[in-house]
Structure 1
């Protein structure tokens, strides 16, 4: 690989020395370095030995992307990778959890050596696409790696959502909202709301109501080839919001509908050598650890 892009959380001061060393390390191996515009401020002291590009143009110029930050940084970066060119993305964890940015600082360079040599281990992570129709016409569209969520505003009452799958009516959910999650996102908001954990390679989508009025409204798992429609049942202008990965949000109007399908875009996520998905679950969710602290 001849060109590597780097995207870092711009306000992450502790990433600055790592970024500078990373740029030097890549240049010593003959790789061209392309930095995302906001990332460049952290690279002072590297002599400008890199190319600058806006976020959406980074992926078009490189063979792989390194993300320095937490899962939120990687979620944002995932939407920058074009569907027609799913280049590998290596996430380095600076956050508190790191389900997606599972590579540690100690594993960065051995893993990157494998990427440069084309011998890396990776997983293809499915993404979702959400399309809003307003008065029957397409209004906005975006992709999400984790989830597309319809939720009530801060002070609004419970909302009513008519949900259909492949044109077949499922139910009217009276709840605080609805999470439509990919397998990757099943360990995020979906898990906190009581939804199931899905293996990331499973071709499925999970619908999880948020604090439903009826206790029998449980999470529902459908095939990821399904077309899901979520329609506001009554006029609720300004009281309902649609979010993509918790990063991009839009107010919804009465009678708006959201159509959610599998996105043509995927994320080719580089995995650390010697670590499997269940090891990540055990580590991140602290499975098997004693919940009783010994008293001194």
Structure 2
């Protein structure tokens, strides 16, 4: 009724047998905004597609409430009416860019919304990760791994590793060691204009870099993972029906007797 055109990614269009279709990577340039229906994992995948294009995302959950998919299917059409009437607000979430350097050459680049994780395999021994902030030495973490997270990602893997919960629109980076050998190695929060460099100092071959828990790359001794804030944030339509603390209470079961 609003005269809007719906564009689907090709995989979804093939299942629905209708709608204009483009490849997933072309969605940001083909649309004014994206509707992502699923869970937080689906949204993380879409976030990497949107990248720093500036196109906003409307996250709709199927089933259980998500930290990033806070709108239910029943709320979808009322929210769309507000968007078409330009009665809405955005939340901006910072993203991270990760560069992998090997033997002095950049071999991989990634954009993530949640986290960059260096992690040992199931059979590998403890690993040694030399970590610097800008030009300043922070620590050589001897641990099962290291999580470099956005505030949005602070309620993911970092939280399970005893990291802090950060309000998702903050502009900070969280560094959380995973099961560190030294109990005094605690998570640290730094400003978002600082660059984190983590160099693997172990000969273990069973070590991996994982991006948003969905994309992986094997890394080896001497590799440097450089992580910094992406130039543009990701924009989410804010739910008019619930706020972040409503979601937090529901997901973490706070206040229940």
Q: Same fold (TM over 0.5)?
A: yes
Give 1:37 deviation, angstroms.
1.3
Partner of 2:47: 78
Contact 1:132 1:141 in 2 (8 A): yes
How many residue pairs match? The answer is 257
Partner of 2:101: 133
Indicate yes or no: 2:233 matched with 1:266: yes
TM-score under structure 1 length normalisation = 0.84
2:252 to 255, 276, 285: 285
Give the 3-state SS of the residue equivalent to 2:50 in structure 1. Answer: coil
Give 1:167 deviation, angstroms.
1.4
Whole-angstrom distance in 1 between the partners of 2:61 and 2:15: 17
Partner of 1:63: 32
Whole-angstrom distance in 2 between the partners of 1:170 and 1:31: 52
Partner of 1:8: none
Partner of 1:42: 15
Contact 2:35 2:60 in 1 (8 A): yes
Contact 1:71 1:98 in 2 (8 A): yes
TM-score under structure 2 length normalisation = 0.96
Give the 3-state SS of the residue equivalent to 2:49 in structure 1. Answer: coil
Give the 3-state SS of the residue equivalent to 1:59 in structure 2. Answer: helix
Whole-angstrom distance in 1 between the partners of 2:83 and 2:26: 21
After superposition, the C-alpha distances for 1:229-264 in whole angstroms (9 at most, x for unaligned) are 000113333x11001101110000110010000012
Give the 3-state SS of the residue equivalent to 1:35 in structure 2. Answer: strand
Q: Which has the larger radius of gyration?
A: 1
Give 1:94 deviation, angstroms.
1.2
Give the number of the structure with larger relative contact order, counting CA–CA contacts within 8 Å between residues 6 or more apart: 2
Give the 3-state SS of the residue equivalent to 1:118 in structure 2. Answer: coil
Whole-angstrom distance in 2 between the partners of 1:103 and 1:130: 30
Give the 3-state SS of the residue equivalent to 2:242 in structure 1. Answer: coil
Partner of 2:198: 230
Partner of 2:84: 116
Partner of 2:70: 102
Whole-angstrom distance in 1 between the partners of 2:51 and 2:115: 19
Q: How does 1:164-243 map to 2 (within 5 A)?
A: 164-237=132-205, 239-243=206-210
Whole-angstrom distance in 2 between the partners of 1:57 and 1:98: 26
Whole-angstrom distance in 2 between the partners of 1:43 and 1:68: 14
Partner of 2:6: 33
Give 1:213 deviation, angstroms.
0.7
Contact 1:126 1:267 in 2 (8 A): yes
After superposition, the C-alpha distances for 1:25-71 in whole angstroms (9 at most, x for unaligned) are xxx43111110111123324xxx2x2111111011111011001000
Give the 3-state SS of the residue equivalent to 1:191 in structure 2. Answer: helix
2:55 to 83, 87, 90: 87
Q: C-alpha root-mean-square deviation of aligned residues, in Å?
A: 1.2
Any unmatched runs of 5+ in structure 1? Answer: 1-27, 291-296
Give the 3-state SS of the residue equivalent to 1:79 in structure 2. Answer: helix
Give the 3-state SS of the residue equivalent to 2:7 in structure 1. Answer: strand
1:53 to 14, 22, 29: 22
Contact 1:107 1:272 in 2 (8 A): no
